[in-house]
Structures are given as C-alpha cells and as structure tokens.
Amino acid sequence: MKTINFTVEIIQHGTDNAGYVVFPFSTEELFGKKGQVKVKVLFDNKVPYRGSLAKMGKSYHFLILTKEVRASLNKTFGDTVEVSLEQDLEERVVVVPEDVLTIFNAYPEVKLAYDKLSYTRKKELMLWITSAKKEETRERRKQQLPSIILEETKNK
C-alpha cells in the first residue's frame, strides 16, 4: 500500500469549530477514484485517524480534522500539520455492546435497518449509547434507539 506524505495548513470551515486539510493530489491518479476515498492517516507521526477524502461539491478532495484530533495534536486553524496517508481497504466494523445486541435480537427489523446505516452513523449511535454517564441515561437511550434507527432508514 502506497503511503502519501505532505504538509498542509489546517483550515477552518466558515465560522464553525470544524477544520479540514486540502488533499493536494489527484485521487483519480493515486487511487483510481473521483469520489470518496477511505483512508488511514497519521498526523504529525503521532495521532492516528480513519476517515475519508471527500469532495462534496468542491474541485478538490479534503480530509476533516475533528476537534479531538486537533486537541491531540495541540493545533488549531492556521497551523500546519504533517500528514501520512494511505488508502484504507479494511472493512470498517462498529462494535455493538451486548445490551444493544439484545435489542437487535428482540427486534430483527431494527437490526436490518441498522445494517443499512453508514459506518459513521453506526459509530455515532453506539458512542451515544456507551457515552452515557448514568445507567438510567444509557437505558433511556437504548429505549429510543429502535425508533431512531427505523426513522432514519424508512425511506432507504
């Protein structure tokens, strides 16, 4: 797998607390793709990240830098970052906690709908469940989960 290295400035998206870096190469030449490219990244030789190069209507591809990544790097908008990047061909799997699997076993239609969600959305939902500080919050979120999943996938 070919590793691509470059140094680039962290750009702020409008006035949001959202940052990204521009990918300064052709994804079509490097990866044979014009659209989204899943990648594994190492920032400043210390902070790993799995994400995607995306175009989203732009003439170039870019990579989002989450606030967590920026905090780990101790960097902000306008700073430069070293990027070491390679295409990510591994399957992306979200670990589903046992108590959520119980819900999926009880409601197979919810599991089928969940399987249609993107990797990122699955990850967000499981983080929402597991990040609850109190057990009653976790239980309430688990009760809400089936309707959230079914609502998000009803037109897919």
Nearest to 64 by CA among 6, 98, 15, 19: 19
Report field, pTM of the whole predicted structure over 0.75: no
CATH architecture of 4-87: Beta Barrel (2.40)
- Helix, strand, coil % (nearest 5) of the chain? 40, 25, 35
Please say if the pLDDT value at position 1 is more than 80.
no
Which residue ranges make up each domain of the chain? 4-87, 98-153
Q: List, for residues 35-77, the tens digit of each pLDDT value.
A: 889 999 999 999 999 989 998 888 899 999 988 899 999 999 9
What is the pLDDT, as a whole number, of residue 146? 96
Answer yes or no: are the C-beta atoms of 29 and 53 closer than 8 Å.
no
